[in-house]
Amino acid sequence: AKVKVAVNGYGTIGKRVADAVALQDDMEVIGISKTKPNFEAQVAALKGYDIYVPETSKEAFAKAGLKVAGTIEEMIEKADIVVDCTPGKIGVTNKALYEKAGVKAIWQGGESKDVCPISFNAEANYDQAYGADFVRVVSCNTTGLCRAIFPLDQKYGVEKVRVTIVRRAGDPGDIKTGPIDALVLDPVKLPSHHGPDVKTIMPHINITSAAIKAPTTFMHLHVLNIKLKKDCTADDVKKLFQSRPRIKLIDGGISSTAEIIEFGRDLGRSRNDMWESCVFKDSVSIDDGELYFFQAIHQESDVVPENVDAIRSMMKLEMDNLKSIEKTNKAMGIGL
């Protein structure tokens, strides 16, 4: 039987996780939750997902002509595992609900690392989540950092990572977030939280981060400088990145996040998602023995395949992380 997955919170991340789970042959979406009968709920209904709502929202859904399958509590009862995609800091308030129902749960990177003992990245620590009840898939930025740092550390040993993150201020559908004309130090006091978040996956990595919020919606951009323990050339690093399942080397004259998203559109990808970390190929350089490169991170989608792999690990569907990654990638069209 397929693993029964419920998606609690159907926004930017939740709708993508639902679609990604629906593409796998070893798991199925038994329901999604919505609080309001808005356009996203209409699309969920068109896609055939069973919609579960808070008891207090039933009337509004009925008025909007949207069929409701039951309450969120009833959805959780039916599931083997819940992927909680509610906004950051809300997810943790659902923990008691999951514990009471005896259901496994995955939180997203907007929750504090303290929501559960295991933070997750499919390449770096899949084994730690094997059979676990509660896991947090780290944020979009931390996921992107782990995907680059893990293989470099395995092959050459990482002595020190320094990263500056230029963050997108809001997602494309977000009409509330700014700034619209400023670069905002985020935070002013250094370092930012991103370095410590990488350490929840790879505690031994020496990393310092700084972050700036910029008025753009497409992607985050990382400026990386890494001191490696062993010597290597820029070509060695390009080859290493090329060999990884969730890194895409970007060339073809692309020098911006806007063109990467246009590339995603031209590839015909669902919602123009770029699930891979996008490393600018020609930026990969060694200077005075240190590695430099730029990578762009599509914040709306890079954590989505990680959630699928986390389900596989927690539900013991696959022991080998590379096999799970390959299966997820194939079903979603990642790497094409």
**Active site amino acids:** 140
SS3 131: coil
Question: Which 281-310 positions form the footprint of ligand NAD (CB under 6 A)?
Answer: 299-300, 303
Site for ligand NAD in 160-189 (CB under 6 A): 171
Q: Between residues 16 and 248, which has the closer beta carbon with respect to ligand NAD?
A: 16
Considering the complex, state which of residue 9 and residue 195 has its C-beta at the smaller distance from ligand NAD: 9
Whole-angstrom Cα distance, residue 112 to residue 107?
10
Among 5, 19, 29, 33, binds ligand NAD (CB under 6 A): 33
For tokens 């060999």, the residue is 243
Q: Which residues contact 232 (CB under 8 A, 6 or more apart)?
A: 155, 156, 286, 291
CB of 108 to ligand NAD, least distance (A): 3
Interface residue with ligand NAD among 35, 71, 217, 225 (CB under 6 A) is 35
Which among 242, 158, 240 has a CA at the least distance from the CA of 201? 158
Nearer to ligand NAD, 139 or 277 (CB): 139
Amino acid at site 45? A
Q: Does 13 sit near ligand NAD (CB under 6 A)?
A: yes
Cα distances from 188 to residues 24, 142, 179, 206, in angstroms, run 43, 19, 16, 21
For the bound state, the minimum distance from the C-beta of residue 304 to ligand NAD, rounded and expressed in Å, comes to 9
- List, in order, residues 6 or more apart from 256 with CB less than 8 Å away: none
Q: How far is the CB of 252 from ligand NAD (least distance, A)?
A: 25
As measured in angstroms, the least distance from the Cβ of 1 to ligand NAD is 26
| Closest CB 234 distance from ligand NAD, rounded Å | 30
Check the CA dihedral 116-102-129-149 and report its sign: negative
Judged by beta carbon, residue 237 or residue 297, the one nearer ligand NAD is 297
Which residue, 219, 1, 11, 213, is CA-closest to 110? Answer: 11
Distance from CA of residue 257 to its chain's centroid? Answer: 18
Q: Which is nearer to ligand NAD, 111 or 318 (CB)?
A: 111
Our CA angle for 289, 292, 294, nearest 5°, is 170
Nearest to 241 by CA among 281, 205, 207: 281
Say whether residue 277 binds ligand NAD (CB under 6 A).
no
Contact residue for ligand NAD among 6, 8, 76, 244 (CB under 6 A): 8
Per CB under 6 A, the list member of 24, 57, 121, 139 interacting with ligand NAD is 139
Is 214 exposed, middle or buried, given 0-12, 13-18 or 19+ CB atoms closer than 10 A?
A: middle
Minimum CB separation of residue 123 from ligand NAD in Å reads 17
Number of residues that bind ligand NAD (CB under 6 A): 25
Mind giving me the DSSP string for 224-252?
A: EEEEESS---HHHHHHHHHTSTTEEEE-T
Name the residue among 106, 219, 227 with its Cα closest to residue 159. 227
In the complex, least distance from residue 305 CB atom to ligand NAD, rounded to whole angstroms: 12
CB nearer to ligand NAD: pick between 109 and 264: 109
Q: Does 10 bind ligand NAD (CB under 6 A)?
A: yes
Site string for ligand NAD, 81-110 (x = CB under 6 A): ----xxxx-xx----------------xxx
Structure tokens at 157: 């040993």
Q: Which residues of this protein are in contact with ligand NAD, per CB under 6 A?
A: 8-14, 33, 35, 85-88, 90-91, 108-111, 139-140, 171, 299-300, 303
